[in-house]
Amino acid sequence: MSGAATARTRVGESFEAGFIGAPSRRLFAVRRAGPAPAAAFVLCPPFFHEQFLSYRLLSLTAARLAARGIASLRFDYFGSGDSWGSEADFSLAGAIADTETALAELAARLPGVPLRLLGARAGAWPAATVAARHGLPLWLWQPLPDGAEWLRELDARDAAERASRLRYPFLGRQPRPAEPDRLLAAFCPPALREELAGVRLAEATRGAAGVVVVDAEHAPALPGAARTLRLPAAAAAWHEEITMQATFVTPAIAACIDALADDVDGAAA
Amino acid sequence: MIEESAHDFGGGLFGVLTRPAERARRVAVVLLNAGFIHRVGPFRLHVDVARELAALGFAVLRVDEPGIGDAPPKRGPDDVAAVRRAFDRLGELAGADRFVVGGLCSAADRAWKVALADARVVGALLLDGYVRRGGYWYRLGQMQLLFGRGVGAFATLWRQFSRPRDAADDAALRDWPTPEQARSGLARLVERGVRVFALYTGGAATYFTHPRQFEATYGAAAHAAGVRFEHWREADHLFLQQRDRARLIDAIRAWCDEEFR
C-alpha cells in the first residue's frame, strides 16, 4: 500500500489502511490479515448509496473472516467512498478495472496465498467478472441478478423518496422534482445506465471456480451456484431504507460468515 | 493540490485526513460520524466538504468514532476524550492549534459537548442539533405544516399533533442537553468567541418546525454575532438530493472561509 497509511495490530490481526493503484487512479483500501492466512479475498462493495449502508457490515465480516485465518482487501471504486475521483468518474468498466488493481495488490502482498473474490449486491458484478477471468472462487453477498431490474427498482425508489413526507415533511402537494442524471442521490448519466442495464449476473459468473451465495431466505437461487446460504429477512433488509443506521453481525449473519470460512477450510482439505 | 492519508488516532478513533499540499491554516476541521454512517458521510457528503475546504487551505479530518466504519468496537462512554485526542494528533500532523468540530445529527450532539469541553474549539457546525421540542413556536410550526399539506393530510397530522410522547422520540435517541444546559452552554461558547453554525432541515420536523424555536431554546445568545442560524425546511435530514448537498457545501465553505481566516 503506497502513500501515507496506517498499520496496527488488533487482537492478532494486522490492519492497514491507505491508498493503492496508479497515481492517476488512487483507490482507498483496507487490508486485514491474521498470521499465515489460509486464503485471501478482495471485497467488491455495493454501488451508490448501498456502499455506505453496507460499510460496517462488510468491515465486521472482514474482521470475522480474518479471525478465521482469511485475509482480505476491501476497497472503494474510483469516484466513490474514500477513493480519489468525483462521482462522475464512476463506471462499471472502471469498477472492474479497480477490482483487478485490488487483486494484483493482494497477490503481491500475500504471495502463494489462494485468492478469491467477494461481491456484495452490485459489487457482485465486478467480482464475478474478475473471478471468471482468472478462474477464481467467488462469494456473493445478496447479489443483484439483473442490472435493468435494479435500475427499475432504483427509479421507483427515487420517485417514492421525492414524494415522501417522512423524508420531506414540509413537502407541498407535489413531489420534489427529479434531478437530471441522478438516481436517488447518485450521479447516473445515460452511459452508466446503459452499462448497468446490460448486466446479467448468471452470465458474468461463468468461468468462476466455484460460487457460494449468501442471500435472503426467499431470494431466487442463482443458476450455477454451488451453494446458497440463507439470511433471515431482518438480516437481509439493510439496503431497503436510506437512513443513518448500520447493520451489525447478528448470530444469523455470523453463521453465514462462518460457513464461508468453512468453505475455505473445505477447499484446503 | 490536496493530499489524503489514513490515520489511527488510538482510543478507537480512525480517520482520513484531507489537507492542502502546501501549509494548512492553523484552524483544522473535524467532521464526526452522522449516526452510524462511516467517515464518508451520507452520499459522500464529508468527502466533498473535506476536499472543498482543503482547497481553501484547511486540514479536514473525517473520523470513524469507536464502533463505526473501520474503528474498533466502542469500549467506554467517553466520546469527547476520543475527539480531543484526535485534536492533539492533528496538531502534530497538520500544525493546527484551533479546531472546528461538527456534523449532522448525533455528530452535532457530540460536537456540542466537545466544544464546551475543549478551549481549542473555535467553531461548531451543528446540523440538525438540539432545540427544545414543544412550546408555542413548535406547535405553530406544526400548524403551518398542516395547512401546507391540504385538508387530506389533516387526520395524519392530527394524530402526530395529539399523540403522547413515547420512549422512541428524538430526545430518547439523542444525547441532548437539558434546556437549561443548552441556554447556558451557548452563552459560554459565545463568551469564548466560538463561532456557531446551527442549521436545521425539514427532516428534523419531529422536533423542529419553526425558526423561532432556536431563540426560544437558546435565549439571547442565539442572536450573538458569532452565531449563524438557518432553517432549510425543504431539505431532508440526509441531504439526499444533490441540490441540497451542493447548497450545504457552499454554505459550510463560505462560513469557514469568513470565520476562520
The per-residue DSSP string of chain A comes to: -EEEEEEEEETTEEEEEEEES-TTS-EEEEEEE-SS-SEEEEEEPPSTTHHHHHHHHHHHHHHHHHHTTEEEEEE--TTSTTSSS-GGG--HHHHHHHHHHHHHHHHHHSTT--EEEEEEGGGHHHHHHHHHHHT-EEEEES--SBHHHHHHHHHHHHHHHHT-TTT-TT--SSPPPPPTTEETTEE--HHHHHHHHT-BHHHHTTT-SEEEEEEETTSPPPTT-SEEEEE-HHHH-TTSS-SS------HHHHHHHHHHHHHHHHHH-
pLDDT of amino acid A173: 84
A49 close contact with B: CB closer than 8 A:
yes
Residues of B in contact with A10 (CB under 8 A): 72
User: Distance (Å) from the C-alpha of residue B34 to the closest C-alpha of chain A?
Assistant: 7
Enumerate residue ranges in chain A where pLDDT < 50.
3-4
User: Which of A10, A167, A187 has the CB atom closest to B236's CB atom?
Assistant: A167
A243 close contact with B: CB closer than 8 A:
yes
pLDDT of amino acid B167: 43
State pLDDT tens for residues B186-225.
Answer: 999 999 999 999 999 999 999 999 999 999 999 999 999 9
User: Which of A18, A82, A167 has the CB atom closest to B240's CB atom?
Assistant: A167
State pLDDT tens for residues B19-41.
Answer: 999 888 999 999 999 999 999 99
- For the entire predicted model, the pTM comes to 0.94
User: Distance (Å) from the C-alpha of residue A44 to the closest C-alpha of chain B?
Assistant: 16
**Mean pLDDT computed over B112-117:** 97
User: Which of A4, A172, A179 has the CB atom closest to B6's CB atom?
Assistant: A4
State pLDDT tens for residues B137-168.
Answer: 999 998 888 877 776 666 666 666 666 555 45
User: Distance (Å) from the C-alpha of residue A114 to the closest C-alpha of chain B?
Assistant: 25
- Residues B117-153 as b or e (16 or more Cβ within 10 Å = b): eeebbbbbbbbbbbbbbeeebbeebbeebbeebeeeb
Residue of A nearest to B10 (CA): A8
pLDDT of amino acid A3: 47
Q: How far apart are CA B232 and CA B204, in angstroms?
A: 10
pLDDT of amino acid B143: 87
Q: Which of residues 57-116 of A touch B (CB under 8 A)?
A: 59, 80-82, 84, 87
Contact B16 A167 (CB under 8 A): no
pLDDT of amino acid A12: 67
Report the relative pairing of strands A2-10 and A13-20 from DSSP bridges. Answer: antiparallel
**Mean pLDDT computed over B115-124:** 98
For residue B235, pLDDT over 90 is answered with yes
Average pLDDT, chain B: 91
Residues of B in contact with A186 (CB under 8 A): 43
Residue of B nearest to A49 (CA): B43
Q: In this predicted complex, what is the ipTM? A: 0.94
State pLDDT tens for residues B49-62.
Answer: 999 999 999 999 99
Instruction: Give yes or no for a contact between B227 and B192, defined as CB atoms under 8 angstroms apart.
Output: no
pLDDT of amino acid B171: 66
C-alpha cell at B208: 423542529
pLDDT of amino acid B13: 82
Q: Which residue has the higher pLDDT, B80 or B198?
A: B198
C-alpha cell at B42: 451520507
**Mean pLDDT computed over B176-187:** 93
Question: Which residues of B make CB contacts under 8 Å with A?
Answer: 3-8, 14, 16, 34-44, 47, 68-70, 72, 105-106, 145, 148-150, 153, 202-203, 205, 233-234, 236-238, 240-243, 245
For residue B82, pLDDT over 90 is answered with no
Average pLDDT, chain A: 93
pLDDT of amino acid B24: 81
CA distances from A162 to A48, A174, A187, B41, B201 (A): 17, 9, 16, 20, 15
pLDDT of amino acid B154: 66
Residues of B in contact with A52 (CB under 8 A): 37-38, 40-44
